Amino acid sequence: MTLPDRPLSVRTLAHRRQFAADAIERAAIELFGSHAVEHVTAADIAAAAGVSVRTFYRYFAGKQEILIALPRRRASQIADATVARPLTEAPFTAMRQAIAELSHADDQDLRAWRRAVEKSRGADRMTQLVVAVTSPILTQALTARIGPKPAGLWSEVAGATVATALVSGARQWSTRGGSLRTHILAAVDIVGAGLSNGPH
């Protein structure tokens, strides 16, 4: 007999919370795309999302946390897919394949996110923050692939390098158009030459 993972009431509450968080994030990104982030208040976002300001702060500490939600989520997806790749693949190869599988020619959520960031006065600082937030997630996945081998430095450098490549590829796509997947893989492959053999 298979027991449910969680009681229905707990799962329903979790779904309601996720729905509220998603609604706040979508409303904020839409507002940021038409108004500079600096000019949008928590009250503006809450009103657009149909929630109270108190509810807004229950899910997000501030506007910056909303802006890093999508990159953090995407990095976690890449990390999970990397860990799940066949063990015969080298760490970087596994991550590169995970990125290839998860990337698409277009990404409307990422497009809206980039519009929001580019409208902000702190666009360069946000780019640096995204790398800082996503690097540890990717590093952890690469470390898990390596196993007991002591390669902390390699994993840390590789995680930061891949995070930077992802940001650069997305920025090229936003500026030049074309396929997001093509731009991201081109950026990742630039750093791949030095990472493909894994730690020594």
pLDDT for the residue numbered 121: 79
Mean pLDDT of 60-81: 95
Domain ranges of the chain: 8-59, 63-195
Handedness of CA 82, 83, 89, 92 (dihedral sign): positive
Classify the phi-psi angles of 50: left when phi > 0, otherwise alpha if psi is within -120 to 50, otherwise beta: left
Mean pLDDT of 53-64: 93
d(CA 25, CA 31): 10
Q: In CATH, which superfamily holds the domain spanning 63-195?
A: Tetracycline Repressor, domain 2 (1.10.357.10)
CATH of the domain spanning 8-59: 1.10.10
pTM: 0.86
pLDDT in tens, 8-24: 454 576 677 788 899 99
Mean pLDDT of 59-74: 94
d(CA 1, CA 4): 10
Contacts of 80 by beta carbon, 8 Å cutoff, 6+ apart: 141
pLDDT for the residue numbered 15: 76
Q: Is residue 6 scored above 90 in pLDDT?
A: no
Q: What is the mean pLDDT of the chain?
A: 89
